[in-house]
Homo-oligomer: A and B are copies of this chain.
Amino acid sequence: MGRTGRRPGGVDTRGSILSAARSEFGNKGYHQATIRSIAAEAGVDPALVHHYFGTKEDLFATSIDLPLRPTELADTVFADGVESAGMRITTVFFTVWENQETRSPLLAMLRGAFGTEQGAEILREFFGTAMLGRVAPRIGGDDAELRVSLALSHLIGVAVLRYVIGFPSLRDVPVDQLIAAIAPRVQSYLDS
């Protein structure tokens, strides 16, 4: 994603919005910061924020350099139907974590969630809205949210042990082997 949005007159609208977003999310927390308040902070129309960055979740993801657009994630994961979503979500998850550059913001988010209540709130709200809110309805069932959360918890647990703690048996195994082992368990949560 290049640095577009530089206008005549030298005003980098996209950059201003991004700075405002980082400031608002940082000061008010994920929940309290709004597209409206970010637009006001940047001195632009809210429509322009949507135009450049999509939804609030997408803007947040961009503001912390996450390589995924939450609103597109569910489409990617369910592209071949529910029956292969376990493999797809597990593959996407580890592809992002394996790449040193895309791992950093995730690691920072995870550490932030452990360190401060505001960090925990970001993870709750962001994943709650961005992931559960979009993924759960696709699999259906009364306990869909619980099952998606359990699948996510497994992925996060592996990330914690592999990338944060460096648990030898999980750190040293090739990622393909890891994905092959985990995907069926993730799938089993999506199935029932």
A residues with CB within 8 A of B: 110-111, 113-115, 120, 123-124, 127-128, 132, 145-150, 152-158, 160-161, 164-170, 173, 177, 181-182, 185, 188-189
Contacts and interface: CB of A to CB of B under 8 A. Distances in A.
Q: How many copies does the complex hold?
A: 2
A146 B169 CA distance: 6
Contacts of A111: 114
Nearest to A157: B157
**Residues of A contacting B: mostly:** helix
Given A157-B155, A160-B156, A182 B124 contact: no
A24 B113 CA distance: 30
Given A124-B165, A124-B168, 8 more contacts: A111-B114, A114-B114, A146-B169, A146-B170, A150-B182, A153-B170, A156-B161, A188-B188
Contacts of A150: 158, 170, 181-182, 185
Given A153-B157, A155-B157, A120 B165 contact: yes
Contacts of A115: 114-115
A153 B158 contact: yes
Given A166-B120, A167-B127, A153 B152 contact: no
Contact of A154 (B113, B168, B177, B185): B185
